[in-house]
């Protein structure tokens, strides 16, 4: 009996595999001499790592696969994610994936330049030094990275909601049909009227003050801001940009005071029903939060949104479902204004970007921003 047990254990040594420090076992062959009570004693600790797709097709001697074997391993959405990376990333960006370091990333870029964009995952195997098994591992690596990046981005955008003040109930948001986004500087006030679609219903700016070293009396602000508000369309919510220079720089105190007075005037004049129903119709949104939302920040400094606004205008003409809709009869007018007044309409750019950011954050309808 002892000899039989020893032969049984030796014949089943091939069933035990140690992978990455974990013991696992393969099914015990039918000819095993182990008694039934011992057949299930080999076990492995359950892995907590995410499940990855493993190549299960038998490849030929060159490591290539016939037909569309590689494409069958991944869903259409996964294929699209991988192909987007393969067709847009530079060789340096591709080197971020461990299996594509060195010559392989260069070969992918050269193959793309010579034969055009990759049309399927199967075409990845045509790249030198990339065989079927490596291609599967590369696709898995790209998918894991893409999913992680989207998750982090979604969490970041969700956190940006805390920069919208005061908080507003979700039930009330369902009743909102349109918003007006307002951005003001030292000389101009700009606004954009956006509906639920979202479509730009109105978008303009007006010259107001020429800031000097002296402080204007409150009556001047009241007259100026009342005049501007009379031109604004009615909306369910008004969104103000929360910004201003640092209070630590005392030389900028007159400008800081200007911002605070303007903000207070807008709050009071637009919230004219607050005393009756206690409902806030005016909210504020942090300027840098909008910059982070659109990746316009360089350190603590927000850069111009001009190029992004031009892109939104172009997409409204070229795409069936653009990020924001513009009336066709006004697209040319807006485009010409952007090209003509490049240095005097930053408030105009910012009012649109703030409106889009608020719409997507508050209603959860933007790219990679779902509640």
Return the residue matching tokens 């959405």: 77
For residue 142, what are the CA distances in angstroms to 57, 81, 99, 207? Answer: 21, 8, 10, 50
70 has a pLDDT exceeding 80: no
How far is 366 from 323, CA to CA, in rounded Å?
8
pLDDT tier at 244 (50, 70, 90 boundaries)? low
Domains (ranges, CATH) in the chain?
A: 2-38 (no CATH), 69-161 (1.10.150.280), 166-363 (3.30.420.10)
pLDDT tier at 152 (50, 70, 90 boundaries)? very low
How far is 355 from 369, CA to CA, in rounded Å?
15
pLDDT tier at 283 (50, 70, 90 boundaries)? very high
Burial letters for 246-276: b for 16+ Cβ neighbours within 10 Å, e otherwise?
Answer: eeeeeeeeeeeebbebbbebbbebbeeeeee
Mean pLDDT of the chain: 77
How far is 145 from 295, CA to CA, in rounded Å?
19
pLDDT tier at 73 (50, 70, 90 boundaries)? confident
Q: pLDDT digit string (tens) for 338-370?
A: 877 766 789 999 999 999 999 988 887 655 443
pLDDT at position 179: 96
151 has a pLDDT exceeding 50: no
The phi and psi torsions of 286 (rounded to 5 degrees) equal -65, 130
208 has a pLDDT exceeding 60: yes
The lowest-confidence range among 19-33, 184-198, 260-274, 325-339 is 19-33
pLDDT at position 170: 76
How far is 69 from 185, CA to CA, in rounded Å?
59
> Please, how many CA atoms are within 13 Å of residue 283, restricted to the half-sphere of its CB?
25
Span 257-271, mean pLDDT?
91
Q: Percent of the chain having pLDDT more than 90?
A: 30
pLDDT tier at 81 (50, 70, 90 boundaries)? confident
Helix (H, G, I), strand (E, B) or coil at 368: coil
CB 338 within 8 A of CB 309: yes
**pTM score, two decimals?**
0.57
How far is 152 from 85, CA to CA, in rounded Å?
18
pLDDT at position 4: 52
371 has a pLDDT exceeding 60: no
């Amino acid at each position: 009996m002892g000899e039989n047990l020893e032969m049984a254990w030796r014949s089943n040594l091939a069933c035990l595999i140690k992978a990455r420090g974990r013991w696992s076992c393969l099914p015990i062959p039918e000819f095993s001499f182990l008694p039934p009570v011992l057949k299930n004693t080999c076990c492995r600790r359950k892995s907590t790592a995410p499940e990855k797709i493993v190549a299960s097709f038998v490849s030929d001697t060159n490591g290539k696969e016939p037909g569309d074997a590689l494409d069958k391993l991944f869903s259409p959405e996964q294929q699209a994610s991988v192909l987007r990376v393969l067709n847009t990333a530079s060789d340096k960006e591709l080197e971020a994936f461990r299996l594509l370091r060195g010559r392989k990333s260069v070969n992918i870029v050269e193959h793309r330049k010579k034969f055009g964009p990759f049309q399927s995952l199967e075409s990845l195997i045509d790249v030198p030094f990339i065989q079927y098994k490596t291609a599967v591992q590369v696709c898995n690596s790209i998918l894991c990275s893409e999913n992680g990046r989207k998750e982090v981005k979604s969490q970041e955008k969700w956190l940006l909601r805390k920069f919208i003040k005061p908080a507003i109930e979700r039930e009330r948001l369902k009743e909102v049909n349109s918003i007006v986004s307002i951005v003001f500087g030292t000389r101009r006030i700009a606004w954009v009227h956006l509906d639920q679609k979202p479509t730009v219903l109105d978008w303009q700016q007006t010259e107001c003050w020429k800031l000097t070293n002296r402080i204007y009396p409150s009556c001047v602000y009241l007259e100026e801001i009342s005049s501007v508000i009379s031109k604004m369309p009615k909306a369910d919510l008004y969104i103000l940009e929360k910004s201003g220079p640092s209070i630590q720089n005392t030389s900028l105190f007159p400008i800081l005071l200007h911002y605070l007075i303007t903000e207070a005037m807008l709050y009071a004049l637009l919230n004219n029903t607050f005393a009756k129903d206690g409902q806030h119709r005016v909210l504020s949104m942090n300027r840098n939060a909008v910059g982070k939302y659109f990746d316009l920040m360089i350190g603590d400094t927000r850069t111009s949104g001009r190029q992004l606004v031009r892109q939104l205008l172009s997409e409204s003409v070229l795409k069936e479902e653009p990020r924001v809709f513009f009336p066709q009869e006004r697209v040319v007018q807006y485009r010409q204004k952007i090209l003509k007044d490049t240095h005097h309409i930053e408030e105009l750019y910012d009012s649109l970007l703030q409106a889009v950011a608020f719409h997507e954050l508050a209603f959860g309808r933007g790219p990679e921003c779902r509640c």
